[in-house]
Amino acid sequence: MKGLRRRAQVIPTLLAAIALLGSLFACTGESATPGDVPVQIMDSAGVRIVTYEGTPATVAPFHLAPDPRYRHGANAGDYTFQLVNVGRLFPDGGAVVADRENSELVVLSPDGKTHEVLARQGEGPGELIYPYSMFVLGQDSVLVPDNRLSRLTLFVGDSVARITSLPRAAHLGVAGIGLSGELLLKNRYPAVYRTVLEDEWLPGHMSLFDTETGALDTVASYDNWPGVPPGLPINPIRALGEVTVAAGHFVYTRSDRPEVTWRRTDGTVERIVRWRPEPALLTEELLEPVEAYDRMMGRMNYEVSDARLEELVQEGMSWYRAMLGRPMPLFGTPFADADGNVWLPSYRMTYPEEGSPYTVISPAGEWLGQVETPPRFRILDVTGGLVLGVLRDDMDVQSVVVYEVVGG
């Protein structure tokens, strides 16, 4: 289907597609109305700037099928997932997922009926402790960075093909792979925490890492972590500066700004997309599910009396109430699909990874529209006409689910 192909097909066709879209989508200094919102496109010092005069209410030309292709974790004999944090699809529709709580890497068959544990903590040369991302290089070939072990492991089939050391800096993480095979790194959190004013930000860095030589080259800095409002220990609705990788480019967002910036691997800016949303302010009504969630988590994690639990809940809620009337972040943590489209999840204060509806923007800066997902569903990967994700039931039990993408 158009726009959602397999990874093996992406790189040679994607560059041509971006060039074609760039020529068709707009010309320098011209404006257009592709949907319900006018758009202005300009070239400035070699940077394409696309500005939407509002927030397009476009529905994406593709959607998830009504029923999943398969679901693993809900049937007898399935793997018992505790906390899935990352996952990727293989070209044949199978999947590999990491369970952070179990410290295991699990491979699912293309029909989702069987599974095998590929790696776990404390076993063999391919052991893992905390994988925070992964990258499929081909059928049965997956590259897994591990934060605790500061290394990158390449699994081919059920064997370890290569282990490469990563920079021993826990704040750095592998965000993606460049078009020339270099690793693109970002800050997973600030290198040094320090108190900063509310309108100040701790920096993060975009870097290139050469696995052959061990050279680490910083190419750009960005706003990563915000300051804290006066009188509060934290900002409970803080915006964040995030970096993902799309089609071999760094993609930067700051969730209090309606803007997405694409950077080349040398750090130079290539494209910026902006829009003009209505501000979403924090209200007491929006805090109701947050309070219920905090109370539920407190009962699960704290062995205290009901009275003490209520004190803890209300203390935490006081931080939220101090922010009433302030703008909330515009979106959650972005990610990219195999075609370089950038997905912006809707902002949520509870279960923040479950961000339906998702706004999808193409590599050329075209606003493709919004995609709805089922309730309690968190997307892990989008490629080959499939969407891999995690589905929670009413008891918060997790299953890994694959949906087909329809249309487009």
pLDDT digit string (tens) for 314-370?
A: 999 999 999 999 999 999 999 999 999 999 999 999 988 899 999 999 999 999 999
Token representation of residue 72: 């693993």
- 110 has a pLDDT exceeding 60: yes
Spatial distance between the Cα atoms of 132 and 174, rounded to a whole number of angstroms: 9
Tell me the backbone φ, ψ of residue 38, rounded to 5 degrees. Answer: -65, 150
Give pLDDT, residue 13: 40
Give pLDDT, residue 21: 40
Spatial distance between the Cα atoms of 391 and 68, rounded to a whole number of angstroms: 11
- 384 has a pLDDT exceeding 80: yes
Token representation of residue 48: 């394409």
| Beta carbons of 277 and 259 less than 8 angstroms apart | no
Spatial distance between the Cα atoms of 49 and 40, rounded to a whole number of angstroms: 8
Report helix, strand or coil for 64: strand
Give pLDDT, residue 382: 98
Give pLDDT, residue 4: 44
**pTM above the 0.85 mark?**
yes
pLDDT digit string (tens) for 113-135?
A: 999 999 999 888 889 999 999 99
Q: Is the peptide bond before 236 cis (omega within 30 degrees of 0)?
A: no
- 1 has a pLDDT exceeding 50: no
Token representation of residue 197: 């004013």
Query: Rounded mean pLDDT of 4-21?
Result: 40
Nearest to 8 by CA among 99, 102, 140: 140
Give pLDDT, residue 230: 87
Give pLDDT, residue 301: 87
Residue of higher predicted confidence among 257 and 194: 257
* 191-195, 218-222, 241-245: least confidently modelled range: 191-195
Give pLDDT, residue 30: 53
- 190 has a pLDDT exceeding 90: no
* 68-72, 169-173, 202-206, 397-401: least confidently modelled range: 169-173
Confidence of residue 234 (pLDDT cuts 50, 70, 90): confident
Instruction: Tell me what the pLDDT averaged over the chain comes to.
Output: 90
- 54 has a pLDDT exceeding 90: yes
Give pLDDT, residue 324: 97
* 98-112, 188-202, 203-217: least confidently modelled range: 188-202
Spatial distance between the Cα atoms of 139 and 14, rounded to a whole number of angstroms: 20
* 189-193, 259-263, 292-296: least confidently modelled range: 189-193
- 33 has a pLDDT exceeding 80: no
The architecture of the domain spanning 39-280+328-406 is 6 Propeller (2.120)
* 25-39, 80-94, 95-109: least confidently modelled range: 25-39
